[in-house]
Homo-oligomer: A and B are copies of this chain.
Amino acid sequence: MSEMPAATPIEQRELVLTRFFNVPRAKVYRAWSEPEQLKKWFAPKPWTISRAELDLRPGGASVIVMRSPEGQEFPNPGVFLEVVKNEKIVMTDAFVNGWQPSEKAFMVATITFEDHNGGTKYTARAQHWSAADREAHEKMGFHEGWGQCADQLGEVAATL
């Protein structure tokens, strides 16, 4: 029942990446949502994805395991908050096993797929609980990492 501190505007807690693909959004959505396709682009090469399972419904789990070139594995567990086919996917690392709080609520990732000149405007938005986490994410290489993956996504979508 304590008073809340003054809010940090969400603009200071988010990172956004946009790409335009000459591919219809249904194909971009397929490349994102089908595990066999996602494995081809979700890690920046030469990293790979050794495992991808997506239970695409609110409360459903995503299990995506990245593998370094040296063979070390890094699990990225998450939960889907909202899924609108061909339009929008919202997921977060804030929960495990349904709605149990995870060790750390770091970010909400919102992916949108929009029609644009016969192709697709792809937007990946990472919103964080704190400005410090946003900054850490940027320094971890958000723009380079997510950017390279988005380019790889466009290439995979073009093959579908």
Instruction: Give how many copies assemble into the complex.
Output: 2
Cross-chain contact A105 with B110 (CB below 8 angstroms): no
Contacts of A66 in B (CB 8 A): 1
Contacts of A7 in B (CB 8 A): 103
- Chain A contact patch, size range: 20 to 34
Cross-chain contact A100 with B105 (CB below 8 angstroms): no
A-B contacts besides A4-B103, A10-B100, A102-B129, 5 pairs, CB < 8 Å: A1-B140, A8-B103, A59-B81, A82-B99, A105-B105
- A residues engaging B (CB < 8 A)? 1, 3-5, 7-8, 10, 13, 58-59, 66, 74, 81-82, 90, 92, 94-95, 98-105, 107-108, 110, 127-129, 140
